[in-house]
Structure 1
Amino acid sequence: GAARRSLPAGTVRHHRDHGVTWLGLLAEAPPSLDAVGYAVHARGFAGHMARTSEVTRYYLQCARGTRADAWSEERIWDELELRMRAREYGPLRRGRIVQRSVVDLESDVLEPLRHGALFLAGDAAGLISPSAAKGANLAVLEAATLARALVDDLTAGDPEGLDAYSARCLTHIWRAQEFSHWMIGLLHGPSGMDGASLFHNSLRRSRLTSLRTSRSQQDWFAEHYVGV
């Protein structure tokens, strides 16, 4: 946008393409689970996120370069049920697919977030992969932090909040980026049978076992998943 085009030379951009692509789907179908669902499967990741009592968001990991219209609705639902193990946990509640998009998982952070009177927030400040659902959390935090700082400066003549805005927000941004990156490694793995692929997938299974069995791991996950 206009803000990024106005950035001075010397602004540092940290960019990472995670090499993972999702097919994002919005279905006119009631949620099939009572909570967010992440499925780890040899064929790739699948996700279930309720939106309303009648609308559900789904994600399917797909090959890079996939077109949004490349999959039929029947293929989409069959693949979702396979990856989410419908035979074991029950069938999904199907409905019409009303929206599709292809999402390449990428991360992007700009430093600093202030350049004179220009303050960056939301997507102007950076992008985060949807793997841990942190984008909206960060945008609200940045907007609220900037709003408080502006009020203090304009009403009380106290510029401390504006001066510290970039550093304060970047602390939260990098914490969220780290957790998002961790989630990408947990949810997506190589499909090969070579030594490196087998090693990586064994690490993923170990992480999942820890999340299922360790209360301290569950507390850590909950804190990072809910907070920013």
Structure 2
Amino acid sequence: MTRTAVPGRRYRHDHGVSWLTVLAEVPQSMAAVTCALHDGGFAGHMARSSGVTRYYLQVPPGDDPETWTDERIWAALDVRMRTGVFGQLEQGPLTERRIVRLRPEVSDPIQHERLFLVGDSASLISPSAAKGANLAIMEAEVPASAVVSALDGDEQPLAAYSHLPCVWRARESSRWMIDLLHPQVDGFHRALLDSLRECRAHQNYFAENYVGI
């Protein structure tokens, strides 16, 4: 693999959490991204287009996605998202189902001479904070712009590519979200929720990291 040609370290961490991720050919059922915490595990609702919605369900590590039938998935979503209280989910065909293990990896450095790592080869962030696609685009746009500068005689942007603090900030944001969304894994979950509900500074920090990295 290309990244093995870059001397350095690959930082890895396994949070011990897995999600079943599915795509449903249905419009969104809720007005915004919705995360549900339940004794049975986390559930998430995230619109992808006017007619496609992404759902997540926390499942045991190593679970087989094929054991999750459409009926079982919709039933688990109904229970965890309390549809009897907040309204019914739009149901329809499920076109994708797979297990995602929340175990991010970050390469350091992401550059060696004229070789530059981008996308998942540079940083693989868990989907908990919705940063993967943003980082992949940034890690492609930044070196592309730096190459243009180098062709004009300015090598400094290329030399600075390996020092992208936003990658590590996204990694920390992802870790924080995992702790928040999985009370079975992190015993400080209640303190996190209380602080987020009551502390304005904590709310600002959360909002900035969720939408601003």
TM-score in same-fold range (> 0.5): yes
In 1, Cα distance between equivalents of 2:95 and 2:109 = 39
1:123 pairs with 2:101:
no
Instruction: Please give the secondary structure, in 1, of the residue aligned with 2:66.
Output: coil
Cα drift, residue 213 of structure 1: 3.4
1:41 pairs with 2:41:
no
In 1, Cα distance between equivalents of 2:123 and 2:162 = 12
Cα drift, residue 206 of structure 1: 2.9
Aligned residues: 213
In 1, Cα distance between equivalents of 2:37 and 2:19 = 13
Listed one character per residue, the Cα deviations across residues 128-152 of structure 1 (whole Å, up to 9, x for unaligned) are: 1111010111111122211221111
Listed one character per residue, the Cα deviations across residues 92-135 of structure 1 (whole Å, up to 9, x for unaligned) are: 11111111111111111111111111011111112111110101
1:165 pairs with 2:144:
no
In 2, Cα distance between equivalents of 1:129 and 1:89 = 28
Listed one character per residue, the Cα deviations across residues 143-196 of structure 1 (whole Å, up to 9, x for unaligned) are: 2211221111102x11111111101x2x111100001001000001228xxxxx
For residue 58 of structure 1, the aligned residue among 44, 51, 55 is 55
In 2, Cα distance between equivalents of 1:159 and 1:7 = 19
TM-score by length of 1: 0.89
1:26 pairs with 2:20:
no
- What's the counterpart of residue 214 of structure 1? 199
Cα drift, residue 217 of structure 1: 2.2
For residue 180 of structure 1, the aligned residue among 153, 174, 184 is 174
Cα drift, residue 208 of structure 1: 2.0
For residue 90 of structure 1, the aligned residue among 81, 87, 92 is 87
Instruction: Please give the secondary structure, in 1, of the residue aligned with 2:65.
Output: coil
Q: Where in structure 2 are the equivalents of 1:65-144 lying within 5 Å?
A: 65-144=62-141
In 2, Cα distance between equivalents of 1:97 and 1:174 = 34
The gaps in structure 1 that reach 5 residues or longer are 192-196
In 1, Cα distance between equivalents of 2:195 and 2:92 = 35
In 2, Cα distance between equivalents of 1:154 and 1:137 = 26
Cα drift, residue 30 of structure 1: 1.3
Instruction: Please give the secondary structure, in 2, of the residue aligned with 1:81.
Output: helix
In 1, Cα distance between equivalents of 2:193 and 2:184 = 16
Cα drift, residue 5 of structure 1: 3.9
Cα drift, residue 7 of structure 1: 2.8
Q: Which amino acid aligns with 1:43?
A: G
- State, as a whole percentage, how many aligned pairs show the same letter: 51
Cα drift, residue 216 of structure 1: 2.5
Q: 131-140 or 143-152, which moves further after superposition? A: 143-152
In 1, Cα distance between equivalents of 2:57 and 2:41 = 7
- What's the counterpart of residue 212 of structure 2? 227
Q: Which amino acid aligns with 1:182?
A: W
